[in-house]
A and B are shown apart, each in its own frame.
Chain A
């Protein structure tokens, strides 16, 4: 059965901390892994990962994929209160119709 598991389910950190969010998957014919940020509205796109070992970076956020061990991590350095959100991971198969979503990691950054 195809599935995506995110950990931890929730996380509370102080401003300035660095956090690592995890996404592991078991999806037949893997094609891509997507990270989204959701703040009480529609998920907004962060990264798409298709190749192992190539880091994607945007400001304080970065992500990398390990296709051998079937997981991805999302790192956020120097966290800010604006980083508080649910972070969703989704995995797409090569020719499938469905992306498989994890349940998300709820991140709270306190001042």
Chain B
């Protein structure tokens, strides 16, 4: 069972560069999301999607774009990287938007912006 797969695991970017973090799930989950995790801040929601073609902003969306063209894939794009975007990023999915479903996480992507 692959579950939630994220790539790359580690990335160093220069300020102003753009990149895409890939996320795929093979569980036919309706709901997918991206979080960033910073020391002392917990997990903060960046963007989420409740189905193919539907995305919305979370708590900290600035500087990031997402799209959901298929049920399986939910890439996160950094448009012009800034040092403040240095963080650990987690893609997560759950079966539906209903609050009674377990959240499944990817392995994480460690991003450093210099």
Contacts and interface: CB of A to CB of B under 8 A. Distances in A.
B22 to A, nearest CB: 15
Contacts of B45: 98
A48 B102 contact: yes
B38 to A, nearest CB: 10
B66 to A, nearest CB: 14
Interface residues of B, number: 26
B42 A104 contact: yes
Interface stretch (B11-19, B70-78, B103-111): B103-111
Contacts of A36: 103
A102 B103 CA distance: 15
Counting contact residues on chain A (CB < 8 A from B), the size range is: 20 to 34
A50 B100 contact: yes
Interface in B1-36: 31, 35
Interface string A96-108: 1111011110000
Interface string A2-26: 0000000000000000000000000
B53 interface: no
Nearest to A96: B99
A43 B40 CA distance: 16
Nearest 10 CB-CB pairs, A to B? A92-B99, A31-B99, A103-B42, A42-B105, A101-B43, A101-B42, A93-B99, A32-B100, A42-B107, A43-B105
Interface of A: 29-32, 34, 36, 41-45, 48, 50, 88, 90, 92-99, 101-104
